[in-house]
Amino acid sequence: MIDTRFFNHKGSLTISQIAEICDAEVITTGKDDILINDINTMFDAQDGEICFFYDRKKKAAGAEIRATACVTTPELASLVADGVIILTTNSPKVAALKLKEAMYEERKPQSKIADTAKIHPSAQIGEGVSIADYVVIGANVIVGKNTVIEPFAVVSDGCVIGDNCRLGAHCSVAYTIMGNNCYIYNGARIGQDGFGFETINGVHKRIPQLGRVIMGNDIEVGSCSCIDRGALGDTIIGDGCRIDNLVQIAHNDKMGRGCIVVAQTGIAGSCNFGDYVVCGGQTGFADHLNIGSGVQVAAQSGVMRDIEPGNVVMGTPCVPFKDYMRQVSFLQKNSKK
Amino acid sequence: MIDTRFFNHKGSLTISQIAEICDAEVITTGKDDILINDINTMFDAQDGEICFFYDRKKKAAGAEIRATACVTTPELASLVADGVIILTTNSPKVAALKLKEAMYEERKPQSKIADTAKIHPSAQIGEGVSIADYVVIGANVIVGKNTVIEPFAVVSDGCVIGDNCRLGAHCSVAYTIMGNNCYIYNGARIGQDGFGFETINGVHKRIPQLGRVIMGNDIEVGSCSCIDRGALGDTIIGDGCRIDNLVQIAHNDKMGRGCIVVAQTGIAGSCNFGDYVVCGGQTGFADHLNIGSGVQVAAQSGVMRDIEPGNVVMGTPCVPFKDYMRQVSFLQKNSKK
Amino acid sequence: MIDTRFFNHKGSLTISQIAEICDAEVITTGKDDILINDINTMFDAQDGEICFFYDRKKKAAGAEIRATACVTTPELASLVADGVIILTTNSPKVAALKLKEAMYEERKPQSKIADTAKIHPSAQIGEGVSIADYVVIGANVIVGKNTVIEPFAVVSDGCVIGDNCRLGAHCSVAYTIMGNNCYIYNGARIGQDGFGFETINGVHKRIPQLGRVIMGNDIEVGSCSCIDRGALGDTIIGDGCRIDNLVQIAHNDKMGRGCIVVAQTGIAGSCNFGDYVVCGGQTGFADHLNIGSGVQVAAQSGVMRDIEPGNVVMGTPCVPFKDYMRQVSFLQKNSKK
């Protein structure tokens, strides 16, 4: 049961409505008009609720389902407990996403600019924008339509923020040109100085960081993640990238479209990523690397060299996945002698 | 010497008072009425001060102690410099904790609600609560008695905060039900969206995150640590957990009682931890793992599989501690050939 | 081309002016009065711009330079495209730093104290200080001359902040004595409680943290980095240290002068670092270690033992660099059999 203190329930749906939303086939006949009130996990769903069953590792739990209805795959359908109304689809995860959207509404603050927001007179604020209490917006900032800015966010002088963005509480955005539909989570840090200095007679002298952060459309940057601006030239994040929490992206990194960067990954400066690169959690990249499109780097790996497109690598220093597994097995076997 | 700009000294104590507070035995006779003014490290303590000596690696330094008194173990007592008043106990660390509490008072802000705090009229604020300048509290929030909320903290709509909690500066708490006596440090992020999406035709479509964060009693969450709310079902943190700084806890993780999570650890989604699990710094956990009660994971380890209760593991992928040591020794030995 | 929405261009410079600023020799004759308007990367620089060429890995790109002028080394000068005005120096990186400073001005907010800043009446604020909107400064705080404090920063009771410091947006500073010329980036956390507790009958009882953070002069602390105060005695950061983003420095760590700590490094409590220690990204240190001056620890390494001055180490557990390379090569070779 979803907690309606936090999420707005839009209303119950019949099995046939759900089948349409989920693009699923109703296997159990004669139940099309049964009403489903809520969504829940396959373990917790009760009477009146629907669940989703697609995890093959949890096959045995299918028989324990107590929901009124269950969306599953044709393959797993036979494992669902008797009496549960079954719907099937080849994409139960997508179905779950769609049903969640259909049954619950994301709360969005009213379009309104709080009196306590400090907005420089030269800033241009688009239609439908919501600016919460205690937001600071600098000179010449441009904010696109319908963007939501949460309490204590800071957007520094000269930044451009696109339409339909969301800047979370306590985030800071500086020296940044951001596209549309970007979601910056609470406490993310975008555009601060990169970590650059020259050591002259034992003094680490800061190198002026004269670049920017250029962000495409449809990007997410997680809580407490940091994206430093370029030293000369820009740090660039491509359309559709998903950056998790506590990630470090250094100056002059460039990411293509759709890259996925899991939590606590660190990417040193001047790396070039292709499209749809996937970085597992806590991975690290040395500086100035070229990482080809479609590369997948397993969690905790350390990348010290360029990687050709499409490779799947693991370990520190990372090697192809199969080689890593061989290394692990060799070491485990031989060290026991 | 403790800096009284920061800490309130409650007054000096005699050796016999200290013995009682520390549950220690005074070994040196005839000194019960000597007055001790302050606590210090064994290296820095001077006349009028007391120190604690229990680190066996620092045995040699015992002879250098210049404090007026020293609390140590019966075993180490003979190593303390001549002329120092000696007290012994089997738990000198606990004794130090108690004496610190007895001699110094933690400053607590006055119970007062700042004019600049933006508190939604529907929020319920308990007795004795202290709300600092520039705090934002959303609709229907409930804050328990004697809780302290520091500047720029944000508590979003619908959250429940227990009694005697402390929400640090710049923290954000959303979609969260929190018990009593929890301490959220500055800049911690609780309850934001988990990192969940389905890739449909090359677009990473966000999965609505409809769960919550449920926190028990007596929990600490360190600075800049992130706890994402559940996707469906909740992220759960058990009573007495201690989470250090810069930790990532993903959606739907569940922790039992008393777990200790050292800095920069990352736990991927849907893990189940038993009670009193200990994670060293920078450890990483793959998703959907079951980690038994009492498991200890050494720093920087990578956990990819379930771990049975009570095991002590190390390495990436982690193995039992002894096996890890064998691997290290095998590799160091053989690679030199 | 530098984006003048963000950076103030001070004016164009002639080749001979640039040669003087950069301490470089003009190789191409008869061009001393040519005017250079801007700085750019060697790949992007166009007519009217100058670039810097010193990366030996990019030798081939020298012939593609389209800038009006190029600062390079005597060694690389012959590789620069025909028609480009060449200046040489043995330190092109230093030259770039100087020219950036000469051509662009760092924007500094006006010396002004915002009406919305909450400054305790007992605080002493030096001349020329700039305090932005929504800053909170506690009792008895001392802020030195010309320091800049950005929105939402919190400086807690009793702290001392030196001259010419910059405290970034959303940073928190508590229990701290800070020298001059320190730059604390957005969202950094300084002085909170260390992660210290004693487990008594299954309860993790917090140990009062009665120390401070003592910072020297000319220190940088990156975004979302955390420096905990001492438990008894202080956490100490020496002059000239450079700490990147998302770094964890635990209670009672002591760093000498000029240490460089790259992003996401974690240092457990009570470590003693000498001078000019370099920690690559994501390195980890166990507690109570002595790390000698000039030690260099490669990225992602795990340090479990003391390291003598001047050593270069790598791996987990870390070993001398050459040994690490031997281990990697041994493992890669033998696991393929």
Asked whether the beta carbons of residue C335 and residue A316 sit closer than 8 angstroms, the reply is: no
- Residues in a beta bridge with B176: B213
- Residues in a beta bridge with A290: A272
Chains linked to A by 3 or more Cβ pairs within 8 Å? B, C
- The CATH fold of domain A171-320: UDP N-Acetylglucosamine Acyltransferase; domain 1 (2.160.10)
CA of B50: which chain C residue's CA is closest? C232
Measured between beta carbons, the chain C residues lying within 8 angstroms of A195 are: 222, 242, 244-245, 262-263
| Best of B185, B192, B287 to mutate (most A CBs within 10 Å, chain A) | B192
CA of C247: which chain B residue's CA is closest? B246
For tokens 């000269």, the residue is A158
**Is residue C337 scored above 70 in pLDDT?**
no
Residue B178 C-alpha, separation from nearest chain C C-alpha, in angstroms: 18
Residue A5 C-alpha, separation from nearest chain C C-alpha, in angstroms: 29
Residue A309: how many other CB atoms lie within 10 Å = 14
Helices B321-334 and A321-334 pack at an angle, to 10 degrees, of: 100
- Rg over alpha carbons for chain A, rounded to the nearest Å, is 24
Q: What percent of chain C has pLDDT over 90?
A: 96
Helix (H), strand (E) counts: chain A: 3, 41
Q: How confident is the model at residue A107 (pLDDT cuts 50, 70, 90)?
A: confident
Q: What is the mean pLDDT of residues C210-219?
A: 98
CA of A233: which chain C residue's CA is closest? C41
Told to judge if C120 belongs to the known catalytic residues of this protein, a careful annotator would answer: no
Residue C187 C-alpha, separation from nearest chain A C-alpha, in angstroms: 7
Measured between beta carbons, the chain A residues lying within 8 angstroms of B152 are: 134, 152, 170
Q: How confident is the model at residue C110 (pLDDT cuts 50, 70, 90)?
A: confident
pLDDT score recorded for residue B36: 98
pLDDT score recorded for residue B17: 98
Asked whether the beta carbons of residue B245 and residue C268 sit closer than 8 angstroms, the reply is: no
Q: How far apart, in whole angstroms, are the C-alpha atoms of residue B6 and residue C122?
A: 14
Measured between beta carbons, the chain C residues lying within 8 angstroms of B108 are: none
Q: What is the mean pLDDT of residues C297-326?
A: 97
Residue A208 CA: distances (Å) to CA of B31, C44, C97, C101: 62, 18, 7, 7
User: Smallest Cβ distance to A41: which of B134, B197, B232?
Assistant: B232
| pLDDT tens digits along B30-79 | 999 999 999 999 999 999 999 999 998 899 999 999 999 999 999 999 99
Asked whether the beta carbons of residue A97 and residue B157 sit closer than 8 angstroms, the reply is: no
**Which of B139, B318, C142, B251 lies closest to A41 in space, CA to CA?**
B251
Asked whether the beta carbons of residue A118 and residue C96 sit closer than 8 angstroms, the reply is: no
Residues of chain A by 3-state class (helix, strand, coil), percent to 5: 15, 30, 55
Q: How confident is the model at residue C1 (pLDDT cuts 50, 70, 90)?
A: confident
CA A216 to chain centre: 15
Q: How far apart, in whole angstroms, are the C-alpha atoms of residue C77 and residue C84?
A: 10
Chains linked to C by 3 or more Cβ pairs within 8 Å? A, B
* Contact status, residue A169 vs residue A182, Cβ threshold 8 Å: no
Q: How confident is the model at residue A337 (pLDDT cuts 50, 70, 90)?
A: low
**Is residue C96 scored above 70 in pLDDT?**
yes
C250-267 as b/e: b if 16+ CB within 10 A: bbbbbbbbbbbbbbbbbb
| Best of C57, C112, C282 to mutate (most A CBs within 10 Å, chain A) | C282
Residue B197 C-alpha, separation from nearest chain C C-alpha, in angstroms: 25
Within 8 A by CB and 6+ apart from C144, the residues are: C126, C129, C161, C162, C163, C164, C165, C180
* A30: amino acid identity, one letter: G
Asked whether the beta carbons of residue A246 and residue C224 sit closer than 8 angstroms, the reply is: yes
- The CATH fold of domain B8-105: 3.40.1390
- Residues in a beta bridge with A242: A220, A260
| Best of B56, B70, B97 to mutate (most C CBs within 10 Å, chain C) | B97
* Contact status, residue C184 vs residue C173, Cβ threshold 8 Å: yes
Asked whether the beta carbons of residue C244 and residue A248 sit closer than 8 angstroms, the reply is: yes
User: Smallest Cβ distance to C281: which of A246, A266, A317?
Assistant: A266
Active-site position among C120, C170, C204, C251? C251
What value does the mean pLDDT of chain B take?
97
**Is residue B337 scored above 80 in pLDDT?**
no
Q: How many CA atoms lie within 13 A of B306 on its CB side?
A: 9
**Which of A327, C260, C300 lies closest to C313 in space, CA to CA?**
C300
| Helix ranges restricted to H, A72-175 | 92-103
Q: Name the pairing type of β-strands C203-206 and C197-200.
A: antiparallel
- Phi then psi dihedrals of residue C158, to 5 deg: 85, -5
| pLDDT tens digits along C164-176 | 999 999 999 999 9
Q: What is the mean pLDDT of residues C285-295?
A: 98
Asked whether the beta carbons of residue C195 and residue B245 sit closer than 8 angstroms, the reply is: yes
CA of B319: which chain A residue's CA is closest? A332
Measured between beta carbons, the chain A residues lying within 8 angstroms of B248 are: 244-246, 263-264, 281
Which residue ranges make up each domain of chain B?
8-105, 171-321
Residue B306 C-alpha, separation from nearest chain C C-alpha, in angstroms: 23
Asked whether the beta carbons of residue B132 and residue C134 sit closer than 8 angstroms, the reply is: no
Model ipTM value: 0.97
Residue C250 C-alpha, separation from nearest chain A C-alpha, in angstroms: 18
| pLDDT tens digits along C19-48 | 999 999 999 999 999 999 999 999 999 999
Q: Name the pairing type of β-strands A49-53 and A69-72.
A: parallel
**Is residue C107 scored above 90 in pLDDT?**
no
Asked whether the beta carbons of residue B299 and residue C284 sit closer than 8 angstroms, the reply is: yes
Residue C139 C-alpha, separation from nearest chain A C-alpha, in angstroms: 23
Q: How confident is the model at residue C106 (pLDDT cuts 50, 70, 90)?
A: confident
Measured between beta carbons, the chain B residues lying within 8 angstroms of A41 are: 232-233
User: Smallest Cβ distance to B172: which of A96, A169, A218?
Assistant: A169
Measured between beta carbons, the chain B residues lying within 8 angstroms of A170 are: 152, 154, 170, 172, 187
Measured between beta carbons, the chain B residues lying within 8 angstroms of C203 are: 218, 240, 258
CA of B260: which chain C residue's CA is closest? C204
Q: How far apart, in whole angstroms, are the C-alpha atoms of residue B303 and residue B284?
A: 6
pLDDT score recorded for residue B234: 97
User: Smallest Cβ distance to B226: which of A96, A106, A246?
Assistant: A246
| Best of B4, B5, B46, B56 to mutate (most C CBs within 10 Å, chain C) | B5
User: Smallest Cβ distance to B134: which of C134, C192, C228?
Assistant: C134
- The CATH fold of domain B171-321: UDP N-Acetylglucosamine Acyltransferase; domain 1 (2.160.10)
pLDDT score recorded for residue A260: 98
User: Smallest Cβ distance to B284: which of A100, A258, A282?
Assistant: A282
| pLDDT tens digits along C143-155 | 999 999 999 999 9
Q: How far apart, in whole angstroms, are the C-alpha atoms of residue B140 and residue C81?
A: 68
| Best of B122, B189, B243 to mutate (most A CBs within 10 Å, chain A) | B189
Catalytic residue numbers of A, as ranges: 251
Q: How confident is the model at residue B107 (pLDDT cuts 50, 70, 90)?
A: confident
Measured between beta carbons, the chain C residues lying within 8 angstroms of B151 are: 118, 136, 154
User: Smallest Cβ distance to A97: which of B134, B202, B207?
Assistant: B207
Within 8 A by CB and 6+ apart from A64, the residues are: A43, A81
Chains linked to B by 3 or more Cβ pairs within 8 Å? A, C
Q: How far apart, in whole angstroms, are the C-alpha atoms of residue B237 and residue B198?
A: 27
